[in-house]
Structure 1
Amino acid sequence: MKRYLQPTTIYLSGVLLCGSLLYQCSNPNNESAESAITTDPQMLAQGEQLFQENCSACHNFRQRAIGPELSGVTRETDADWLFHFIRNAPEMIEQGDPRAVRLHEEYQTYMPPFSSLDSTDVKAIIAYLHTHQPQQEASSEAIDTTKVLEDPIPEKIMESGLSLVIEEVGQAPATAQEPPLARINKLLTIKTDGQERMFIHDLNGVLYALEKDTFHPFLNIRKEKPDFISKPGLATGLGSFAFHPEFEQNGIFYTTHTEPPGTAPADFAYDDSIKVTLQWVLCEWTMDNPEASTFSGTNRELLRANMVGGIHGVQEIAFNPLAASGDPDYGMLYMSTGDGGAVLAGYPFICGSKERFWGTLIRIDPQGNNSQNGRYGIPQDNPFVNSENPEALQEVWAYGFRNPHRISWDMGGDHKMLITNIGQKNIEAIYLGVAGANYGWGNREGAFMIDPQGDINNAYSLPENDDKMNYTYPVAQYDHDEGRAISGGFVYRGDLVPQLNGKYIFGDIVTGRLFCVESNELELGKQAEVKELGIQVNGKETSFREVTDNKRVDLRFGIGAEEEFYIFTKADGKVWKVTNVAGNYISKAY
């Protein structure tokens, strides 16, 4: 008799196993893997395919990623134990297996379970894991590896004194059979015919119009793009969307999504000796009637890029909402691209360069045609147009990002452009957008040095000659004592909650903690003070982990009608509106 348990992330001997390996069933037949791990080529090929489909988004065999790296696990762990652990890990946790409990407490990250792996599948995966054993690598530069910073930012985040009063305004429809059931990811508002319309999308392939508390399907990309995939999960699928500033007249909007490797020739590719896990695709959609409640019209592909891994893809596309007709930035589309896991996979040269697509902020004219493929334009005021470096990619506006999660502009104040970047092991960062800037990855993580050829999970103090490196550093940051992955937000400029005016509100994806910084304190060369916000639901002080009943909250933010602030959580698919605040703001922490 099968029994299904609460989804849990399970670890063994330093190894986090993907949720797809957590086959939630009992083992009445006492199935066991043979002590001798097979070397059969067919089984190895099967294991590699299963690993790439289900596990590669979280793990590799070189560096710790979302979960620990997997090289050498079959030598550290008995194959029979490993087999039973994969088949029924939650039961081993419940029974108090010391290794499982200890490592589960160390790495707390939600992973959805799958029930598609039989005993042969598990044996094949173990066989494939066995082919990867640890290898020594030399450091790429002169770094004293004995001076690892165990706690890069020892100062703790102080409380702001404020709690956001939030009210639930909607529940996203389920688009999956297993948690997370609704992978809602981005919310924005546009105006058509004088009316504000809110849209929110699910990574599993649906863009909704949010009408009061109803999610109305606006575009189902699965029906329009037969090659669409949302595997291996996390940030893959329908990545982002943006409406052209003249949508009310032209009916044009844009999306990004993922497709299998080799679906079509890539506009941005690398050496064919390096594996391609998937492709990210940017598309333009033109509606027959911009006021229609459901998409009907045509679409075309603008560009396509290969990715080494299934992580750190195209996190955001956006137009500058402050740009008016006639401004150079009007109608220019920004696209934030992660490194695709290239550094983790051992290919740091693929990213961190103005000569490459990956790990950059791209800026294009989607209505133009002077690109190499002729399907979009390259703005002539991009920083590397007519560059002295003939190899510079003219689409690049800024570079040196690991995983740029969100872009936003302060609608008041001095109209800062803010970029949040999800870090590796130590630092979550907020940057000011600067044309032509190098933000340092994979030689820097936040305002700290790392070694891309060594253990990139170690942070080091900046070298004495760092001023010669011309890196642009964060204007605010926090380390992994406080959270795991930054969720980019917005500067509040609404009227409903004046106490929040001028505060950039953001949070942590995993823990669900809410933070804020004063927008006027975000300056290059300085570190603004990050403070924590609480939340209240129905008059009770609580947390998003408590509200969602989940250790991985998957926190997101959006701006709705009349510039009001929304918070939503992929863990339970709920959308919340900030309606008030409680408490008194502490202006300075002492």
Structure 2
Amino acid sequence: MLIVAATVQAQIPGSITKQGLRVELDDFTQMPATAGTVGGKGDHSPNATARINFFRESPDGRLWVNDLRGQIYTLDEAGAPQLFVDVDAANGGPSSIFPAMTTTGGLAAGLIGFEFHPEFESNGLMYTIHGERASNANATPHFSTVDQRTGFHPVNYHTVITEWELPDPDAGVWNEAAGARREVLRVGTTADSYFHPFGDIQFNPTSEPGDDDYGLMYVSGGDWGYINGAGAPQGSPTEGQPGQLQRTDTLAGTMIRIDPRSPSVTGGQAGLGDYTIPSDNPFVDGDPQTFDEIFAFGFRNGHRMAWDEDGTQYVSSVGHANIEEIERIVPGGNYGWALREGTFVNGNDIANGGNGDADRVFANNVPDALDVDFRGEEFLYPVAQYDHGDGNAIAGGFVYRGSAIPQLYGKFVFGDIVNGRLFAADADLMKTIDLTDPTTTADIEEIQLFVTDNQGSQTDVNLRGDILPGRVDLRYGVDAEGEIYILTKTDGAIRRLVGSAALRLLVDRGAGTVSLVNGSDTPVEIDGYSLLSQLGALDPSDGAWNSLSEQGQSGWDQAAPTANALSELNPLGSLTLTGGQSIDLGAIFKPVQLAFGENAEELVFEYTSPNGSQFNGAVVYTGEGLTNNLLLTVDPATGVATLVNASQFDVDVEGYTIHSESGSLLTADGDWASLQDQGETEWDEAGPTPFALSELVPEGVSTLEAGEAYNLGKILSTSGALDLRLEFLREGLAASQEGVVRYLLAGDYNNNGVVDAADFTVWRDSLGGSGVLADATGPDLAGVPDGVVDTHDYDYWVTHFGNTLPALAEAVPEPATAWLVGLLTLAWATQGRDRRPTK
């Protein structure tokens, strides 16, 4: 595979290509912006919106995310973040939990990561890893490297693993007074920059109580900056301090395995820190020059660990200047850095073809018998690798064992941190690779990402270029179901991968109609589906649900419909939806108002395939739903406005203001019909200006009942900008809230903000139907009725009235009767609710 002379820089032949794997990318959440929150400490990446680094699911089912700037968040079911703790909120002040924490010195500086004990639900134990500047730290490391340069070079950085004990494991916020913290391990390094420290903490997710590996903590790291110039060049013939590595009497370049419990608790062998050495670790040999914590070594940057369901362990190791690699872990194994990089000889290995330049790699022509480390043990090589023609730093990954993306099942999914490309390799093949053979690695293919719009149309995208302009800073996360999440530090966003053949449920908020949509090019076969709503947002009434059985689909049986579940099953057959096909299930969505201002959108869509697999389909909402707010409707053609409590809740209001940044409001007497003008004695009107119309209840509140409406008269200049903003203050709240402003559009008879075929239907039906007033034209004579309402009338109607905001329809002629229908429609919408006097 590698046919290159030892004196020539080596490369991997070919490049990674796309071979048909397509996966949908779906937005999940946006993390809070933390740029500028580190005070005067400095920030290694000051332009990053949020430096999110790890995504975890705790044993109790909650999702968690950390930010290198010091924050840990929990995420609710909708992805909304809630701050759990900020470890350096005071930026080094007395109330900071880690006052010496540094956010500069390297890309991993700060609050690097976190993990939960497998018995977190009962013991409340979680673990963090962070970096500190030694000059600010008051503690002494359990272990520190000794610099190999001439002269004195002090310890510059500490890396610290901390155990946190939550008195209440269900708590959503850390209680510093009630909780407890214990330092498990603190290590120091003399390197000049904070590169590649311990970075990932995990417990083997496949181990169970009673297993030898249960409750043991794995911590992976890298070379602590001793290559890459961070240790300062020694001069010819080596770069940095490679002598710090390829040793077992150091923690640099290692993965360690420990029992995080103190020896005072376990009675077992003490380690360098306050933890216990597992007796079956590979270097437990009684030799004081061999650190018994070490599980494997020879890593430049063991960035992330992963386990397959059979217990096979992998490490994604970030390379130096040439090769990115995936390692399959063997206890006691040596993975070669800084003498090997990928399957190649690194320039540091002068004895085997290197030239002393760590930035170069050379063909591995070392005979098997000599391809051994200082112990006489064979070097272990990656099971998959790529060079810097395809990326710059490996991200992830995981062996996908989820159910939402069948085409990824059994693949090791990873990517590139810098350019954001997503890759996959066959996990079963990776398990067959001979780790001592540098000539064989698993093939890699690129995953094509795409996004889907509300109509089901797909667009292929790349993370870099289409979503982010430059460096992506890609990270991966996985939940308990094995589904994959994508973190991008540059913009602080979290997205998730969705199967390209997955069905989606398209829900029209306004009409309540629901459709099954296959938005992909691939046929999807189903033999059952369920629509679920905990809040009862489904309409089970007769005629609402247009089920498959009612559509005449053979073999389909309905379960008893309820407001919480609509389900069908075909016990004898199935239904195939071809690419792009949509099936209408009827007007079965009944949006729920939880409280004033809160609308629930919590439908769940599940379906099964004939092979027994169950999938969670995406639910996509379109159109405007329940306003559930104070609503100001404005007719741009007349300037008349109506204030409506468009919710099902009575609201106590202390005041309101209508703003216009451009000064388009009318202030002349007889224009604005204020509530005070209408005889509402509790209201006091402020002096009106073109920029603001305000009223206040100075001695209490005014209750706006559900559906109650006020005609406020003519408040907007017909030539003014459509820039109104409604603000109001509710009783008991310190801050005002934003209401909703909606402009009426000529011809928009269903008030959805666009003039379209649905409005033509309203126009036609309201004016008497076929052959009457909606009959506007024939095929030859525009504006002359021909006795039939047909497509010619629709074309004429669209030409004259079809438009969207902010353009107005008043510039074109409109039949007076049609405009009257629009006014009547508005009147019908408010009839029976306008309980106060109007002008």
Q: Shared topology, TM-score over 0.5?
A: yes
Q: How far apart, in 2, do the equivalents of 1:329 and 1:239 lie?
A: 24
Give the equivalent residue in structure 1 for 2:282. Answer: 383
One-letter identity of the residue aligned with 2:319: G
Cα-to-partner distance string for 1:162-189 (whole Å, 9 max, x where unaligned): 2210111100111113311201111111
Q: How far apart, in 2, do the equivalents of 1:238 and 1:443 lie?
A: 31
2:71 to 206, 211, 222: 206
Matched, 1:570 2:570: no
One-letter identity of the residue aligned with 1:532: E
* Richer in helix (by share): 1
Q: How far apart, in 2, do the equivalents of 1:584 and 1:187 lie?
A: 32
Change (3 A) 1:174 1:275: same
Cα-to-partner distance string for 1:101-139 (whole Å, 9 max, x where unaligned): xxxxxxxxxxxxxxxxxxxxxxxxxxxxxxxxxxxxxxx
1:364 to 258, 269, 273: 258
2:35 to 176, 179, 182: 176
2:25 to 155, 166, 170: 166
Residue 563 of structure 1 aligns to a residue whose secondary structure is coil
Q: How far apart, in 2, do the equivalents of 1:524 and 1:439 lie?
A: 14
Give the equivalent residue in structure 2 for 1:524. Answer: 433
Q: Is the 8 A contact 1:489 1:507 kept in 2?
A: yes
Q: Is the 8 A contact 2:315 2:329 kept in 1?
A: yes
1:535 to 426, 449, 455: 449
1:464 to 351, 358, 366: 366
2:203 to 309, 319, 329: 319
Q: How far apart, in 1, do the equivalents of 2:5 and 2:312 lie?
A: 39
TM-score normalised over the length of structure 1: 0.71
Q: How far apart, in 2, do the equivalents of 1:399 and 1:545 lie?
A: 33
Change (3 A) 1:247 1:171: same
Q: Which has the higher contact order (CA 8 A, sep 6+)?
A: 1
Residue 398 of structure 1 aligns to a residue whose secondary structure is strand
Change (3 A) 1:541 1:467: farther
One-letter identity of the residue aligned with 1:215: P
List aligned pairs for 1:400-439, cutoff 5 A. 400-411=298-309, 414-439=310-335
Give the equivalent residue in structure 1 for 2:131. Answer: 258
Give the equivalent residue in structure 2 for 1:328. Answer: 212
Q: Is the 8 A contact 2:59 2:116 kept in 1?
A: no
Q: How far apart, in 2, do the equivalents of 1:420 and 1:275 lie?
A: 31
List aligned pairs for 1:7-406, cutoff 5 A. 147-177=6-36, 178-192=46-60, 196-211=61-76, 212-222=78-88, 223-262=96-135, 263=137, 264-271=139-146, 273-296=152-175, 297-307=179-189, 308=191, 309-344=193-228, 345=231, 346-369=240-263, 370-372=269-271, 375-386=274-285, 389-406=287-304
Deviates more, 1:277-286 or 1:146-155: 146-155
Mark the structure with the bigger radius of gyration: 2
Give the equivalent residue in structure 2 for 1:510. Answer: 418
Residue 191 of structure 1 aligns to a residue whose secondary structure is coil
Q: Is the 8 A contact 2:271 2:293 kept in 1?
A: no
Alpha-carbon offset, residue 406 of structure 1: 0.2
Residue 122 of structure 2 aligns to a residue whose secondary structure is helix
Q: Percent of counterpart pairs with the same letter?
A: 39
Residue 109 of structure 2 aligns to a residue whose secondary structure is coil
TM-score normalised over the length of structure 2: 0.50
Q: Is the 8 A contact 1:354 1:398 kept in 2?
A: no
Q: Which runs of 4+ in 1 moved over 6 A?
A: none
One-letter identity of the residue aligned with 1:365: D
Alpha-carbon offset, residue 328 of structure 1: 1.0
One-letter identity of the residue aligned with 2:484: F
Q: How far apart, in 2, do the equivalents of 1:246 and 1:210 lie?
A: 20
Cα-to-partner distance string for 1:422-455 (whole Å, 9 max, x where unaligned): 0001100000011000000010001110132711
Change (3 A) 1:146 1:224: same
Alpha-carbon offset, residue 398 of structure 1: 0.4
Q: Is the 8 A contact 1:368 1:378 kept in 2?
A: no
2:394 to 479, 483, 486: 486
In structure 1, list runs of 5 or more residues that go unmatched. 1-144, 586-590
Alpha-carbon offset, residue 284 of structure 1: 0.3
Residue 199 of structure 2 aligns to a residue whose secondary structure is strand
Deviates more, 1:340-349 or 1:355-364: 340-349
One-letter identity of the residue aligned with 1:552: R
Q: How far apart, in 1, do the equivalents of 2:345 and 2:164 lie?
A: 42
In structure 2, list runs of 5 or more residues that go unmatched. 37-45, 89-95, 232-239, 264-268, 351-355, 373-377, 435-439, 453-457, 502-519, 523-839
Q: How far apart, in 2, do the equivalents of 1:328 and 1:339 lie?
A: 29
RMSD: 1.9
- Tell me the matched-pair count: 435
Alpha-carbon offset, residue 548 of structure 1: 3.6
Alpha-carbon offset, residue 467 of structure 1: 4.2
Give the equivalent residue in structure 1 for 2:552. Answer: none
Change (3 A) 1:513 1:275: farther
Change (3 A) 1:584 1:455: farther
Deviates more, 1:350-359 or 1:395-404: 350-359
Give the equivalent residue in structure 2 for 1:544. Answer: 463
Alpha-carbon offset, residue 276 of structure 1: 3.0
Change (3 A) 1:374 1:204: closer
Alpha-carbon offset, residue 571 of structure 1: 1.1
